[in-house]
């Protein structure tokens, strides 16, 4: 069974969030929690929050944290806020304020072994 958590419209660019997600890719969710707590990146905060939500969703279904593994870790691009900044001689420069969507899907390790029986 899959346990999901989403967070949308995070005011951090997807590129910055993907750096953090790539650093925890390949780890177990409990190892990823420990890594994210001590990572000195501002983008680690929202990812840590979503990961805790996904683990909490699994615990509601009475699944142990040690039995979980990552199925999908995605950072997608959200809507971009377009702003402008005045410059010399009445001109304007465009400022793009990017947003992100985080998607984390966990699965229990024992669910695949029980399907084979």
What confidence tier does 113 reach under pLDDT thresholds 50, 70, 90?
very low
What confidence tier does 109 reach under pLDDT thresholds 50, 70, 90?
confident
Beta-carbon contacts of 44 under 8 Å, excluding residues fewer than 6 positions away, are 20, 36, 37
Q: Strand 2-10's sheet: what is its strand order?
A: 2-10, 100-108, 68-77
Domains along the sequence of the chain with CATH: 2-109 (3.90.470.10)
Structure confidence by residue, pLDDT tens digits, 34-64 = 999 999 999 999 999 999 999 999 999 999 9
Distance of CA 90 to the CA centre of its chain: 41
Return the H-helix or E-strand segment holding 69.
Answer: strand 68-77
The answer for 32, left when phi > 0, alpha when psi is -120 to 50, beta otherwise, is alpha
Structure confidence by residue, pLDDT tens digits, 92-104 = 999 999 999 999 9
């Amino acid at each position: 069974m899959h346990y999901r958590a989403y967070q949308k419209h995070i005011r951090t660019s997807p590129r910055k969030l993907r750096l953090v997600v790539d650093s925890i890719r390949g780890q177990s969710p409990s190892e990823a929690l420990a890594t994210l707590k001590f990572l000195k990146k501002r983008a680690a905060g929202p990812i840590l929050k979503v990961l805790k939500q996904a683990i909490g969703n699994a615990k509601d279904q009475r699944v142990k944290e040690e039995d979980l593994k990552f199925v999908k870790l995605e950072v997608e691009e959200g809507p971009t806020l377009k702003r402008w900044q005045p410059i010399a001689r009445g001109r304007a420069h465009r400022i793009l304020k990017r947003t992100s969507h985080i998607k984390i899907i966990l699965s229990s390790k024992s669910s695949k072994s029980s399907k084979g029986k």
